[in-house]
Structure 1
Amino acid sequence: MQKNQQSQESAEALAVQALAFVASDPELLPRFLAITGIEAHQIRRAAQEPGFLAGVLQFILAHEPTLLRFSLETGIAPAEVGRAARALPLGNDDHERSA
């Protein structure tokens, strides 16, 4: 069980990194907000909701050019993003890409 907790913590850290990536991009942020239905000032509160961080990773995974750019900029393999999404609450959709 300790390993699962550790992998969830690692997945959360990766998702926070992905959220920062999305938030800093003037094209991605409006698209993310439109898809999620939240407003920019609600992100901090929404980030504490179950499934939000998995949703951030699923947003990245849903668009291959975004996934590849995130991977290139962070050094995180695309497959790791998929594993992290599944390690988070409500993140069990199968979006893993082979890398």
Structure 2
Amino acid sequence: MKQDDAEVIALNALAWIAGADLLDTFQSSTGVDRDTIRQAAQDPELLGAVLDFVMMDDDWVQGVCRAQSLRHETFLAARAALPGGQSPHWT
């Protein structure tokens, strides 16, 4: 997946977070303030953090995927395409 496509998925996930009344939880979890959230479109690392946050709860992943008509695999590919989303190599 191209990073641009992953960023769109993450921005839509951020909108879902706000609509699901999870924005305060996101802020508490990440330490990100509202001004930084407004700048999220220009920060691929923050967008990766958005997807990491969603992945903390299976129901949230399902909600985001339903809202965007995404397969779970596509959601995971989006996370992998953003900074910090690469699978670690343990060897």
- Given that 1:61 and 1:81 are in contact with CA atoms closer than 8 Å, whether structure 2 keeps it comes out as no
Root-mean-square deviation (Å): 1.9
Equivalent residue for 1:84, pick from 66, 78, 87? 78
Q: For residue 62 of structure 1, report the CA deviation from its aligned partner.
A: 1.9
Match of 1:19 in 2: 14
CA contact (8 A) 2:13 2:50 kept: yes
Show structure 1 runs of 5+ residues with no match: 95-99
CA distance in 2, matches of 1:23, 1:40: 11
Shift in Å at residue 37 of structure 1?
0.4
Q: Deviations over 1:57-84 (max 9, x none)?
A: 1111221011111112221111211110
1:35 aligns with 29
Over the matched positions of the two proteins, sequence identity in percent amounts to 32
The one of 41, 47, 51 aligned to 1:53: 47
TM-score using structure 1 length: 0.76
Provide the TM-score with structure 2 as the length reference.
0.82
For the residue of structure 1 that corresponds to 2:83, the secondary structure is coil
Say which structure, 1 or 2, has more relative contact order (CA 8 Å, 6+ apart). Answer: 2
Tell me the CA shift for residue 45 of structure 1.
2.9
Moved >6 Å (runs of 4+): none
Which range moved further: 57-66 or 47-56?
A: 47-56
Corresponding position of 1:71: 65
Instruction: Determine the C-alpha separation between the residues in 1 that align with 2:72 and 2:23.
Output: 20
Count of matched residue positions in the alignment of Structure 1 and Structure 2: 88
